[in-house]
Structure 1
Amino acid sequence: MAKLSSLKRPKNSFAPVHCDIKDPSLADKGRGRIEWAGRTMPVLTQIQERFLRQKPLKGMKVTACLHVTAETANLMVALKAGGAEVSLCASNPLSTQDDVAAALVADYGMSIFAIKGEDHETYYRHIDQALEGGPHLTMDDGADVVGVLHSKHRDLMKDVIGGTEETTTGVIRLRAMARDQVLGYPIVGVNEAKTKHLFDNRYGTGQSTLDGIIRATNRMLAGSVFVVAGYGWCGRGLAMRAKGMGADVVVTEVDPTTALEAVMDGYRVMPMGEAAKIGDFFCTVTGNVSVIRAEHFEKMKDGAIVCNSGHFNVELDLKALHKLSKRRAFIREFVEEFTLRSGKKVIVLGEGRLINLASAEGHPSSVMDMSFANQALCSEWIVKNHEALEKKVYGVPEHIDQEIARLKLKSLGVKIDALTKEQVKYLASWNEGT
C-alpha cells in the first residue's frame, strides 16, 4: 500500500506557492502530525494509491474550505495524487493547525490560506484567495465557499462542474439554495453518507468534543450535570460519551420523536429553560441559531460552562451575553468568563466556536478516514458524471458508501456473511408467506 508521504517533494523542487500561513518554520512539526494521522487512515490510503496510478482528477482545480488539520491534509494529498491542483482555506477561524498548514506548503507545494485565530475579515479574504483562478470543484465544510461564489464571484462559477459538502449545517444551507432555485451547480452532500454521519458525527464528535472541553477547562465531568442541546447524530454521540464519563446527561430537543428516543436511551429530557437552572456544562450541537439565549444565561448557576460543537458559533447568543455582562475576562486559553450584572459568572469556551477544534484536534483520524474517503470518491464521481447532473444536492451514491464500509471492515480484519442465492431470491419475492 502506498504511503501518503510518497508525494512529498524533493527539497526545493516546487516553485514558491501563493499562500498565507502563520509560520513556515513549523513544517517539520506538521509533517510528523500528518504522517501520524495517516497511519490510521487505511481507506483513504488505498484510494490515494489508486489515484496515484489512474489520475482521475487530472486537470481539476479544487478549492477546499475545510478544517486545516492533519486528517484534512491526508485528503488534500490524496486529491493531489489524483492529479488535482489544490487550494485550501479554513472553514472555521479557530480550526487550523498552523504546523499542518506549513507542511502542506513546504512538502506538497499547495496553496494554503489559513491561520489559527484569524479574524472575520481575514477568514473571508482567505476564501477569496483560495478561489483565485477559478475552481472546477469546490469542497466545503459549512458551505461558505459556495456562499461566497454565489454572492461575490459569480464570474468564477462558469467553470465549476460540481462540489461536495462535509457537514449537516452546510447541507441545510445548500438544500435551501436548491429549493429556492439559486444553486449554481450540483453538490454531493457527503454528510448524508452512512459511512459519514453514523461514525464521524456520532463517535468523532462525541469523543473530540469532550476532549476539547477537558483540555480547555481541566474540569471533572463525573458527577456533573451535562446538558446536550440537540439529539441528532452529534448529540447522540456527545450524550453517550458524557454519560460514559459519569455525567448526569440532560437532553434538550424540539423534535418530539427525537426527544422520545433520548428518553428511551436513558436521558432526562426537558426544555432549555429548565435545563439552564441545573446544568454545570452546556454544549450545543443543533446547527441552528440562538439555542442558548439571554433568558437561559440569566437562569444559569454561577460558574456554568457553555460551549458549542455545532458548525457556527451562532448557536450561542453571545451578543445577548455581552449585553447582560458587566465584565469579561480571559481566565486561561479558550476560557472566557462573563460576569453578569447579578454577579453570577458564565464561562464560554473557544469563543463559542467548535470546541473540539478550538482547544483540541478535532475528530480522530480513524473516523475521518471514512468521511474523507467519501470526499475523494465523490469528487471522482462528479468528474465522471457532471454532464448528467442537475443543479441540486445529491446524496452519496450507495455503491460508494458500501465500498467505503467494505474497505474499512477489511482494514479492521472483520469479515461478514454474504447472502446465498436462496436468500437473494426470497428477499426479491412476494409470494412466499407463512
Structure 2
Amino acid sequence: MTATAAPQLKHEVKDLALAPLGNQRIEWAGREMPVLKQIRDRFAKEKPFEGIRIVACCHVTTETAHLAIALKAGGADSILIASNPLSTQDDVAACLVADYGIPVFAIKGEDSETYNRHVQIALDHRPNIIIDDGSDVVATLVKERKEQLSDIIGTTEETTTGIVRLRAMLNDGVLSFPAMNVNDADTKHFFDNRYGTGQSTLDGIIRATNVLLAGKTTVVAGYGWCGKGTAMRARGLGANVIVTEIDPIKAIEAVMDGFRVMPMAEAAPLADLFITVTGNKHVIRPEHFEVMKDGAIVCNSGHFDIEIDLKSLGAKASEVKDVRPFTQQYKLPSGKSVVVLGEGRLINLAAAEGHPSAVMDMSFANQALGCEYLVKNTGKLEPGLYSIPAEVDKDIARLKLQAMGIQIDTLTAEQVEYINSWTSGT
C-alpha cells in the first residue's frame, strides 16, 4: 500500500515509532478487503467527500484503517477516535498519523476521562458526518453541542447498541438529522455479527485464558446475530452451550438450533464460562455471581462494559488481582472466585484483534457507501433512521463473491416473467 508522508498533525497516540509495524499489519488486512479497495479506488477518482468534515468513532484496528484511508482518498477532512478504551491497536493508530496524515486520538487502555475528552476533540472538528459505533458521539452532540446540529448532514451507525440509542433519540424527538442503519444491512449483520463476533469472541477468550473449551458448559446470554455466531462457534469447539434469552421467538430459535435454553438464574450454577452479547445492562448480577462455580469465567462481547455488573462484584470481593493479561480474579467472601476477562469490555478487541478483515470488508463498504449516500442526498432526507439501499447491499455481496471467485445463477427471461405474473399457476 502506498502511503504519503504526513505533516505535523494534532494527534494523541501511544508512540509514532510503532508506525512501521502498523503499516505492515494494515497491508496484511488489506489482502482480504477487496470490496473496500474497489470503493476506495473509485472515491480517489470521484472525490465525493471534497469539503466534507467526517468524524469516525470506531475501533481503531487494521480493518478500520482501510475505511479511514478510503474516506481520505474520497477527499474527506476526517478525524478518527476510539469507540472503546481497550480496542485500539496502537501501531495502527501511529501508522495512520505518521504515514497517511489522518489525525487519530486513541490509545489502548485509555481511561474514561481520556475517552470522553477525545469525543469532545472529535466534536471540535465540527463534523458534517459522524461515523459512530455505539452512538456516543451523536449522543454527546445532541446533549451538549446543540449549536452544531445545523452542521450535520447525517450519521452512520453499525452496532445494535447504537441503533437502539438512535431509535430512543428519534422517539424523544431529539434526532434532528438522518441516520444510516448500517447495522441492519444484510451484508453487515449476517456476516460481521454472526461470523465475525462468533470467531473473534472465542479467539479473545482463548488468548486471555488458554482454557480448553471442549467439555466446558458455556452460557451465551442473548441470541441475536452475535449470540447465534458465538453459540455456534462455541459448540464447534466442543462446548456444551446454554442460551439465555428474553425474546420468546429467539428462544424458540435457539431451542430448534439444538441449544438448551433457560433463565440466567438457572444457568448460573451450571456454567464454567459466561459470554454476554445482549447490548443491555446488568445481564449478570450479584445473585448470579453468588451461585457460580468456583473459578467461573465471565466476559462480554456486547458493546459497552455494562452487561456484567462489575461494580457490585468489586464491592463484594475481598481481593481483586490480575492473574494474566486481561484476566482478573475476584475473590469472594465465600472463598470462591469469579474470573473476569477484559474488564468486562469487548473481549474480542480487548484480548484479540477483533473481527477478521474478510467480514469487515463488507461492513466498512456499507459505512463508506452510507456516507456517500448521505452526501448525495444532502437536504433531501428527513430526520430518522434509514436502511442501506437494497441495491447497494446486493452490489456489495456481488463484489465480495467476485473477489472470492464465486459465480451464481441469473434468472432466465421465462423465470422473470413467471415471478412477476399473478396469472401463472401450478
The bucket for the TM-score relative to the shorter chain is: over 0.9
Aligned partner of 2:186 in structure 1 is 194
Partner SS, residue 314 of structure 1: coil
Structure 1 gaps of 5+ residues are: none
1:432 CA displacement = 2.0
* 8 A Cα contact 1:225 1:281, kept in partner: yes
Counterpart residue identity of residue 110, structure 1: I
Q: What TM-score, normalized by structure 2, do the two folds share?
A: 0.99
* 8 A Cα contact 2:227 2:277, kept in partner: yes
Aligned partner of 2:316 in structure 1 is 324
Deviation digits for residues 362-389 of structure 1 (CA, Å, limit 9, x no counterpart): 0000010000000001111110012110
Cα distance in 2 for partners of 1:132, 1:110 equals 16
Structure 2 gaps of 5+ residues are: none
1:399 and 2:391 are equivalent in the alignment = yes
* 8 A Cα contact 1:112 1:130, kept in partner: no
Cα distance in 2 for partners of 1:289, 1:428 equals 47
* 8 A Cα contact 1:134 1:157, kept in partner: no
* 8 A Cα contact 1:65 1:145, kept in partner: yes
Deviation digits for residues 256-286 of structure 1 (CA, Å, limit 9, x no counterpart): 1111111111111111011101100000000
Aligned partner of 2:250 in structure 1 is 258
Alignment of 1:1-400 (within 5 A): 5-6=1-2, 8-9=3-4, 11=5, 14-400=6-392
Partner SS, residue 163 of structure 1: strand
Which structure 1 residue ranges, 4+ long, deviate > 6 Å from structure 2?
none
Partner SS, residue 56 of structure 1: coil
Cα distance in 1 for partners of 2:176, 2:7 equals 34
Cα distance in 2 for partners of 1:433, 1:255 equals 38
1:288 CA displacement = 0.7
Deviates more, 1:417-426 or 1:161-170: 417-426
Partner SS, residue 148 of structure 2: helix
Deviation digits for residues 19-70 of structure 1 (CA, Å, limit 9, x no counterpart): 1111111101111111110111000000011111111111111001000000
Aligned partner of 2:406 in structure 1 is 414
Counterpart residue identity of residue 155, structure 1: E
1:157 CA displacement = 2.0
Partner SS, residue 315 of structure 1: coil
Cα distance in 2 for partners of 1:115, 1:133 equals 19
RMSD: 0.8
Partner SS, residue 290 of structure 2: helix
Cα distance in 2 for partners of 1:274, 1:163 equals 41
* 8 A Cα contact 2:71 2:78, kept in partner: yes
Q: Give the number of aligned pairs.
A: 426
Partner SS, residue 142 of structure 2: helix
Deviation digits for residues 333-360 of structure 1 (CA, Å, limit 9, x no counterpart): 1001001111110000000000000000
* 8 A Cα contact 1:88 1:113, kept in partner: yes
Q: What TM-score, normalized by structure 1, do the two folds share?
A: 0.97
* 8 A Cα contact 1:63 1:88, kept in partner: yes
Counterpart residue identity of residue 112, structure 2: H
Counterpart residue identity of residue 366, structure 2: N
Aligned partner of 1:430 in structure 2 is 422
Identity of aligned residues (%): 62
* 8 A Cα contact 2:134 2:303, kept in partner: yes
